[in-house]
Structure 1
Amino acid sequence: MVEIERKFLVKSNQFKEQASSKSRIVQGFLNIHPERTVRVRIKGDLGFLTVKGISNASGTSRFEWEKLIDLEEAESLLGLCEEGVLEKTRYEIPIGKHTYEVDEFHGENQGLLVAEVELNSEDEIFEKPNWLGKEVTGIIKYYNSQLSKEPYKNW
């Protein structure tokens, strides 16, 4: 499956008033490689194992495979992850025909707010809320795998 998404910085907390849901996420990486990453995530009381491929030239599209796993399995796998487990709160905000996912990072990435919107095609038109800031699609330092190695506090 190919994931197509655009990524933006968030310039205010105004999005929180529009959120339809909020969940705590803890995630780590079993493998970080330029051509693929293998992620373990706990979102609420669910576990996930995800493999992501290399992004295309624009950074908007890449292969993604995700599987639901038992919470206990996810917790065990987090113990095997590379250093730099991420913690964040994810807010889901419906805007027009799309749902933005805004991640408010904690720990060493405290202060970073990043919004993502998934699209059906790279040239799909989508509504941009006023709290959306600069686009950072394809800028590798904003990838979660990179934030686990080089946290926001060190920029």
Structure 2
Amino acid sequence: MASLPIFITAVANSSDEPAFPLLFTWSTHEAQVKEVLVIPDDEWLASHTIEPNVPNLDEQQLYEFGYEASDILAEWTNEFDTDVIYGLDPELIHQLVEATYDIKGLEPAFEVHSIHSWFEERDVNLNDAIAEQGHSTPLHLLAPDELIIQLLHIAVEHGLIDPSDIPAVEE
């Protein structure tokens, strides 16, 4: 079976004027969910602020628990053996991925495509699949890790990925 797709989401410094990432969450080819806080670069903070956000991340938490862009890029280089990953808001994700690469003088090593298109290419309407599960919370309002888990479960339910590849989720 082909390797699993990589789904990604992020939290930006601002919902109105996103300029840099605070958090990235993604699935791996082994259907694990990884999440990493991003230490803001001084260059980002020189012209942008960290506004209140859904996970309530602040600058102190990012410095205490986050990782430098170079560490995140090294991890992605080791994990992403694809030139396409999928996000709910591909334009925003692309912008935040690009900011992460750009701060190190690099070009992104992959493109971000729409998660909706990934499902549509496989004859699954993502919005209908969510409704069928009885979930009333829109995907964009889910916590980042919950979003990725939800996408993986929908893919399993529609036979797009092998259920044995998905770790059990305790609720």
Q: Taking structure 1 as the reference length, what is the TM-score of the superposition?
A: 0.30
Q: TM-score, normalised by structure 2?
A: 0.28
The answer to which structure has the higher strand fraction is 1
Larger radius of gyration: 2
